Amino acid sequence: MRTDEPVWSAKQRRRARRVLLAASLVLASAAWTGACVVLDALGFVESPLLPTVAGPESPELLARVRGSLAIHGYGADGRFELRELPDGASSELRLVDECVAGAASRAGNVVALVVATRRGGGRGRGYELRVAPLDRPNESFVLASGAGELLNSAVALDATGSWLAVARTTRDAEFHASRSELELFDLEERRAVWSRPLERVGALGVLAGSRAVVFTDFDRAEPVVRLRAFDGAERPLATGTFCALDREHELGLLFEAERFRCVALSDGAELVADARLPGLAGAVIGLVSFDGPNSSNVLALYEALPTEGAKQARHRLGLRGPSPFSTLKVADLRTGSFATLVSQPLETGSFLFD
């Protein structure tokens, strides 16, 4: 007996089920998003408030902060904002037409960033290490590039803008093996000086005076902060994790045994044994020290919870959720006094403090 109805193979039936399942998930997501928007507009839904840190604040700390913030978002089309401190003047810089921002570093008039390039209109399938003078962004150049999805990255310039360290983790096109590597570049000659494998990417710092790169070695059971000289020689500095750097005085903030401490990176001498960062809720971005390299008067810029009593931004529940952090704060590592530098949540890929 003949029939005009098509006969589907097992492969076609499986494919049809997958299409129907995907369509159902899309429709359910759209319905949930629409409901959240309507309820939020009517005032019925609010995102949960973040915990807070008790005050009072010390606003006089803000006048002692010198440098700049480079603020860029996920999928920001290669644009990021440069905000000068302490006056807050800002400007926009655009280096790459289409990219997903990775990490950035600045030294004087030179800026460097790692970007995951979009290829074929989809997710990043390659990466570039770009360097440009701030006053001539059109003269940016690609220092290094490669294939593979960029999973994580860190980049650091020395104070003179002559040396650049970059660490990155990439995954091949088949989404199998991932690879992490640390490299040092000589910007005057535009070439790689050396490279070494890493277990994973962490914070970096380049020390012009000591002519070395500081990083965390996660290859061992216990993390070790190490210095690798420009000539390739390497030595351990201390146990723990490297978090942030003061390039001018070559001070570093380390995390070990549930506490932060500030040390001189040249010899590991401890300046602040138990550094205080009230309301810490993310990364420590940078350090500023005063009165010379042996001073214990050190400020840190970090992602933090809002201060008690401060107004918190409200997000649509189900669309964005609560911000992963609410403020950027400055704190005196020795006394624990702090002040809020940026109060509103910022949707950013990374911050740079220079």
Question: Which element (helix H / strand E) includes 21?
Answer: helix 10-41
CA-to-CA distance for 138 and 126, rounded, in angstroms? 21
pTM: 0.76
CA-to-CA distance for 326 and 349, rounded, in angstroms? 14
Kindly write down the DSSP assignment for every residue of 112-171, as one continuous string.
Answer: EEEEEEE-TTSSEEEEEEEEEETT-GGG-EEEEEEESEEEEEEEEE-TTSSEEEEEEEEE
Higher local confidence (pLDDT), 171 or 79: 171
Which residues fall within 8 angstroms of residue 100, CB to CB, at 6 or more apart?
74, 75, 115, 116, 117, 118, 124, 150, 349
Q: Which of 87-101, 103-117, 152-166 is modeled with the greatest confidence?
A: 152-166
Higher local confidence (pLDDT), 216 or 39: 216
Digit-coded pLDDT (tens) for 266-310: 888 888 999 999 999 888 988 887 765 556 688 999 988 889 887
Sheet harboring 110-118: ordered strands across?
Answer: 99-107, 110-118, 124-133, 141-147
Geometric angle at alpha carbon 34, from 29 and 36, rounded to 5°: 95
**Per mean pLDDT, which range of 126-135, 180-189, 239-248 is the poorest?**
126-135
Q: Determine what percent of the chain is predicted with pLDDT higher than 70.
A: 75
Considering only CA atoms, which of 204, 201, 155 is closest in space to residue 178?
201
State residue 314's pLDDT score: 55
Half-sphere exposure for 293 (CA within 13 Å, toward CB): 16
Digit-coded pLDDT (tens) for 40-68: 554 545 556 778 889 899 999 988 887 77
Overall average pLDDT of the 330-348 stretch: 81
3-state secondary structure of 229: strand
3-state secondary structure of 211: coil
CA-to-CA distance for 193 and 143, rounded, in angstroms? 12
Does pLDDT of 351 surpass 70? no
pLDDT band at 140 (very low <50, low <70, confident <90, very high): confident
Question: Residue 239 to residues 155, 213, 225, 232, 333: CA-CA distances in angstroms?
Answer: 22, 16, 6, 21, 20
Contact (CB, 8 A) for 303 and 309: no
For the domain made up of 46-342, the CATH class stated in words is mainly beta
Q: What is the CA radius of gyration of the chain?
A: 24
Higher local confidence (pLDDT), 311 or 222: 222
Contact (CB, 8 A) for 165 and 212: no
Q: Give exposure, 229-253, as e/b (b: 16+ Cβ within 10 Å).
A: ebeeeeeebbebbbbbbbbebbbbb
SS3 letters for 175-189? CCCEEEEEEEEECCC
Overall average pLDDT of the 211-226 stretch: 92
CA-to-CA distance for 60 and 66, rounded, in angstroms? 13
| Amino acid making up residue 130 | R
State residue 215's pLDDT score: 95
Mean pLDDT of the chain: 79
Does pLDDT of 323 surpass 70? no
Does pLDDT of 139 surpass 90? no
Backbone angles phi, psi at 11, to 5 degrees: -65, -40
CA-to-CA distance for 81 and 346, rounded, in angstroms? 12
Digit-coded pLDDT (tens) for 221-234: 889 999 999 999 99
CA-to-CA distance for 16 and 192, rounded, in angstroms? 51
Does pLDDT of 318 surpass 50? no
CA-to-CA distance for 345 and 342, rounded, in angstroms? 8
Contact (CB, 8 A) for 259 and 275: yes
Digit-coded pLDDT (tens) for 141-168: 889 888 877 888 889 999 888 999 999 8
State residue 174's pLDDT score: 64
What is the token pair recorded at 133? 């003078």
- Report the sign of the C-alpha dihedral through residues 113, 117, 123, 126, in that order: negative
Q: Determine what percent of the chain is predicted with pLDDT higher than 90.
A: 27
Half-sphere exposure for 1 (CA within 13 Å, toward CB): 2
State residue 320's pLDDT score: 45
